[in-house]
Amino acid sequence: ILQNNLLAGQTLFITGASRGIGKAIALKAAKDGANVVIAAKTAQVHPKLPGTIYTAAEEIEALGGKALPCIVDVRDEKQIGEAVERAVQKFGGIDILVNNASAINLTGTLETSMKKVDLMLGVNLRGTYLTSKLCIPHLLKSKNPHILNLSPPLNLNPIWFKNHTGNALLPDFFLDEAEALVQNMGDPVVIPVVKGSTAASGPIAETFNIIKGVLNPDIVKSTGGVYKFDLSGEHAGVWFIDMKNGGGSAGSGEPPVKADVIMTMDSADFTKMFAGKLKPTMAFMSGKLMIKGDMSLAIKMEKMMSMMKSKL
């Protein structure tokens, strides 16, 4: 929530500000005494949608702000560039960019024309990138520059995707050549074992005792992998989980057969990961977790972790 008069004297460049959320932000800024650049397409009255850049400008100035209406298609580099230059000439600079303009079409893949796809990518992706690129040189001259991107949260919950794909969703590390990436990330730093720590006690041993209790033939059948954990740090050591043979097994030391997946990480991060406090994907992407072997089996490990959250 914007505080009163926080934006007094500030210049906001707002895309899609002739109506909706963009206009609402513009009007709040106007009450604070801000300068508002209305960068939008609608210059003439639309038969179905209310408002134009000129009516929005009138409302902004009626509330005490200063307005500069600019006819802009955010996909057009020339129009964006001209609007930015006009803003700088009129108000002396740009303090805040609000990337609000967007296009959306909630239809299935087969029902969505490429014209609509191009529109969404052009406005939402290219338009945001382009406007930011052209405003940044002026934002850098501001004492307190900001870019506000209006978008849905980056939520990968299947509920948001299930109606728009052809197949059931599968987890992924969003990597093309995972093995090559792991090798390029470098060798992990190995910290010597602290004296007095043993494999038979401590948080790692407790975690593996819980793992043993979770293992069952169904998990073994659905997983089909042997995992080796090479842990460094305070509770360094080698541990394994066999979810490929018999009813499954887990414990300290080398696995009874060759591991399909080798995971290398700090023992503290291992404990957090199995307790649900550190997501495996985030651990991997941040370099805290190194993985060698079958990436599809590595992903399956998350199923066991989810079963253990309530027990750790």
CATH number of the domain residue 224 falls in: 3.30.1050.10
The whole-angstrom separation of Cα 254 and Cα 236 is 14
Residues 50 and 142 both lie in one domain = yes
**Does residue 160 have a pLDDT over 70?**
no
CATH number, domain containing residue 75: 3.40.50.720
**Does residue 97 have a pLDDT over 90?**
yes
Q: What percent of the chain has pLDDT over 70?
A: 80
Residue 171 domain flag? no
Residues 116 and 240 both lie in one domain = no
Residues 232 and 145 both lie in one domain = no
Least confident of 34-43, 59-68, 114-123, 219-228: 219-228
Least confident of 34-38, 98-102, 126-130, 268-272: 268-272
Mean pLDDT value of segment 70-82: 96
**Residue where one domain finishes, among candidates 130, 149, 168:** 149
Least confident of 16-30, 39-53, 274-288: 274-288
**Does residue 220 have a pLDDT over 60?**
yes
Mean pLDDT value of segment 160-180: 55
Residue listed under structure tokens 């307005």: 67
Residues 129 and 37 both lie in one domain = yes
Residues 21 and 103 both lie in one domain = yes
Residues 145 and 215 both lie in one domain = no
Residue 168 domain flag? no
Residue 155 domain flag? no
**Does residue 169 have a pLDDT over 70?**
no
Residue 207 domain flag? yes
Residues 131 and 222 both lie in one domain = no
**Residue where one domain finishes, among candidates 111, 132, 149:** 149
Domain interval for residue 60 = 11-149
Provide the number of structural domains found in the chain. 2
Residues 100 and 24 both lie in one domain = yes
The whole-angstrom separation of Cα 38 and Cα 18 is 7
Residues 117 and 212 both lie in one domain = no
Residue 190 domain flag? no
DSSP label of 73: -
pLDDT tens-digit profile of 235-287? 999 999 999 998 899 999 999 999 999 999 999 999 888 888 888 878 887 88
Query: E strands within 72-222?
Result: 96-99, 146-149
159: confidence class by pLDDT, cuts 50, 70, 90: low
* Confidence at residue 136, expressed as pLDDT on a 0 to 100 scale: 97
Mean pLDDT value of segment 91-109: 92
311: confidence class by pLDDT, cuts 50, 70, 90: low
* Confidence at residue 301, expressed as pLDDT on a 0 to 100 scale: 77
Rounded mean pLDDT of the chain? 84
13: confidence class by pLDDT, cuts 50, 70, 90: very high
**Does residue 197 have a pLDDT over 80?**
no
Residues 117 and 34 both lie in one domain = yes
**Does residue 196 have a pLDDT over 70?**
no
Residue 28 domain flag? yes
Residues 17 and 119 both lie in one domain = yes
* Confidence at residue 193, expressed as pLDDT on a 0 to 100 scale: 36
**Does residue 228 have a pLDDT over 80?**
yes
**Residue where one domain finishes, among candidates 110, 132, 149:** 149
pLDDT tens-digit profile of 103-144? 988 888 888 999 999 999 999 999 999 999 999 999 999 999
Residue 102 domain flag? yes
Residue 165 domain flag? no
Residues 139 and 231 both lie in one domain = no
**Does residue 40 have a pLDDT over 90?**
yes
